[in-house]
Structure 1
Amino acid sequence: MSALSLADPSAAPANSPKIVDVAIIGAGPTGLFAAFECGMLKLSSVLIDALDAVGGQCAALYPEKPIYDIPAHPAIPAGALIDSLEAQIAPFNVPRVLSQRVEKLSGRRGDFTLTTSTGTVIHAKAVIVAAGAGAFGPNRPPLDGLEAFEQSGAIQYYVRRRSDFAGRRIVVAGGGDSALDWALSLAEIAEKVFLLHRRDRFRGAPETLSRIEAFVTEGRIEKVVPYQLHGLQGEAGVLRGVEVATLDGQVRVLEADTLLPFYGLSTDLGPIAAWNLDTTRSQIPVTPSSLETSLPGVFAIGDVASYPGKLKLILQGFAEGAMAAHAIYPIVHPDTALHFEYSTSKGTPGQP
């Protein structure tokens, strides 16, 4: 079989072998930027993701959520960030293998074979794992009758379109950044927002906590502490009230038609955990200077990578993508020295 033409991702059947310099597993923001860095070094790459579109959690879970720590952007919606990253790699015509996860990895540094869940075969000289925390799903509260309210949309774990919650009476449950950020955002358009947590201490940035207290003072948010979810009231998928209880059993009913539990994500590295890589709690330890894992030729970047001093920030994942691409260059071109040039000097393909 012939290999897929990088210039024309539709030039070959889906399951024909693909030959590239770098296989990037995970098409979230970190994986997308790694593809850009590979392109700038004239390394061909392919993006592989189990989701049906690029963007990872940013696109699938919270496309309208603002991100505040991207350099040069005081705030940017997650979906807009993904759009910009896609535009950035457009000159390199990077193929995408979507709705598939990599089941098998064989070979060695400089000569790997990857096989996906649908039988697609990819040959690569190096591999970058940018899989975030692996496959993800919400931690669901143990409440009776949960499924019917999930199916009707009365209970949701992600805010994909903020406008869907206009005029609603919402219980936001959780004490971390997601719960706080969405309580603040939805309080601007909802009829009522209850912020529920088992204790009167929240895990958020000082500025976020100050804004929460200001919204509470203004009556735009009602803090319900120290309470936890206890039960659901309603029928046929229509939510009418959320029962909450203190640790000593005092029960209160919040009149609400929407429940947003933000209790984090359950994660699983899936088949990656069986690749003879060193792993620790769904993370992959790497050499900080190169991002190479314990398996030579396989690199890990973004949230899945672990090393002393690691910060789980998108901007750090971007830097790791650049470092990994530079570490891969001598694998692909062992007899060619890499002369580093700034993008301001050499531009990108198609630029004068």
Structure 2
Amino acid sequence: MTDTPAETDVAIIGAGPAGLFAAFQCAMLRLRCVLLDVLPETGGQCAALYPEKPIYDIPACPAVEGAQLIARLEEQIAPFAVPRLLGHKVESLSGQRGQFVLGTDKGASLKAKAVIIAAGAGAFGPNRPPLDGLEAFEASGAVQYYVRRKAEFENRRIVIAGGGDSALDWALALKDKAEHVYLVHRRDRFRGAPESLRQLDEAVAAGLIEKVVPYQLHGLRGQDGRLEGVEVSDLNGDVRTLEADVLLPFFGLATDLGPVARWGMDTTRATIPVTPSTCETSLPGVFAIGDVATYPGKLKLILQGFSEAAMAAHALYPIINPDQALHFEYSTTKGVPAG
């Protein structure tokens, strides 16, 4: 890692998968770039929320855990020694196309000719269930919203609440480690990939996962932060207690664009509309990629963020080199630029 320069060609806000690949694409075009992220390490949600969760839709990787994917992306940009400013929240963006100035919450300043926003879901936090005494169980780790190490759940009784991909994926991932897995949802219909639903049916039939439907969370039983049971209620208000050591509620993330929303570009529902062919926002010279970007037909997939990173890097090239034509070359032809 090199020292962070005072100015660069491209400032990339967000060091998750899309941001890391944007750094690679810029470097392949011989554009200088700096990675900025509010988190103290690269990886974004992959590193912070699901480092051990398998990802199945990365091309050429039948299955790769979040932390492994980040490690491979870091390996890919290692030859370029891309500077990064981590643990800094970008608070301000001023100037214009070709002459931007970014300021962080820690007083750092960076000049850039173009900006790529790869901020994922923006500032994110879990949607917390409205249960009495929740804070004490959160503090003890009896209620958790992210799974960072699967080994922590060995031989434990786990209640997983939710009906989406996260609830399904973690129920399947922990079924062979936990003593018992309950999957609680308000209806007997889950939102997930067909293959995940098939695996869920198999696990239920084998007694590895117990579906608790149609139920929703009602209360927590225990004392001094030690969880003894999770109360759930059905549509008639009848309450059942599930003996449990851990509750994992997966009700999605509450997202907020934070300071980005005040930078003068169009936004909608915590996302930034972009031109699909270039990923440029309504603010000339500022591009958005990954989950934070939106356009008709957008799929919130990591692989789409990778594609957007390449498009944005090529689209902003004329800003950095206005008098130089960009001749497209395949990486198999030009290799990795030296120096």
TM-score range, shorter chain: over 0.9
CA contact (8 A) 2:158 2:247 kept: yes
Q: Could you tell me which residue of structure 2 aligns to residue 47 of structure 1?
A: 35
Cα separation, 2, equivalents of 1:293 and 1:158? 32
TM-superposition CA deviations, 1:177-235 (whole Å, max 9, x none): 00000001100110000000000000001111111011101000000000000000000
Q: Could you tell me which residue of structure 2 aligns to residue 70 of structure 1?
A: 58
The gaps in structure 2 that reach 5 residues or longer are none
TM-superposition CA deviations, 1:282-336 (whole Å, max 9, x none): 0100001100000000000001111111110000000000000000100000000
Q: Could you tell me which residue of structure 2 aligns to residue 3 of structure 1?
A: none
* SS of alignment partner, residue 76 of structure 2: helix
CA contact (8 A) 2:272 2:294 kept: yes
Shift of 1:247: 2.1
Residue 265 of structure 1 pairs with residue 258 of structure 2: no
5 Å-filtered alignment, 1:172-191, equals 172-191=160-179
Q: Could you tell me which residue of structure 2 aligns to residue 29 of structure 1?
A: 17
* SS of alignment partner, residue 244 of structure 1: strand
5 Å-filtered alignment, 1:311-326, equals 311-326=299-314
Cα separation, 2, equivalents of 1:96 and 1:240? 45
* SS of alignment partner, residue 190 of structure 1: coil
Q: TM-score, normalised by structure 1?
A: 0.95
Residue 285 of structure 1 pairs with residue 273 of structure 2: yes
Q: Could you tell me which residue of structure 2 aligns to residue 141 of structure 1?
A: 129
Residue 103 of structure 1 pairs with residue 91 of structure 2: yes
Q: TM-score, normalised by structure 2?
A: 0.99
Which of residues 73, 80, 84 is equivalent to 1:85? 73
Shift of 1:350: 4.7
Cα separation, 1, equivalents of 2:183 and 2:122? 29
CA contact (8 A) 2:124 2:253 kept: yes
Total equivalences in the alignment = 339
The gaps in structure 1 that reach 5 residues or longer are 1-7
CA contact (8 A) 2:10 2:112 kept: yes
AA matched with 1:278: D
CA contact (8 A) 2:30 2:337 kept: no
Which of residues 97, 103, 122 is equivalent to 1:115? 103
Q: Could you tell me which residue of structure 1 aligns to residue 151 of structure 2?
A: 163
Cα separation, 1, equivalents of 2:126 and 2:318? 40
TM-superposition CA deviations, 1:71-130 (whole Å, max 9, x none): 000000010000000010111111111111111110000010000011100000000000
Q: Could you tell me which residue of structure 2 aligns to residue 192 of structure 1?
A: 180
Shift of 1:9: 2.2
TM-superposition CA deviations, 1:5-38 (whole Å, max 9, x none): xxx623x7xxxx6210000000000000000000
CA contact (8 A) 2:97 2:285 kept: yes
Residue 252 of structure 1 pairs with residue 240 of structure 2: yes
TM-superposition CA deviations, 1:29-73 (whole Å, max 9, x none): 000000000000000000110111000000011100000000000
Cα separation, 2, equivalents of 1:128 and 1:248? 51
RMSD: 1.0
Q: Could you tell me which residue of structure 2 aligns to residue 298 of structure 1?
A: 286
Moved over 3 A (4+): none
TM-superposition CA deviations, 1:238-278 (whole Å, max 9, x none): 10000000122100000001000000000000000001110
Residue 129 of structure 1 pairs with residue 122 of structure 2: no
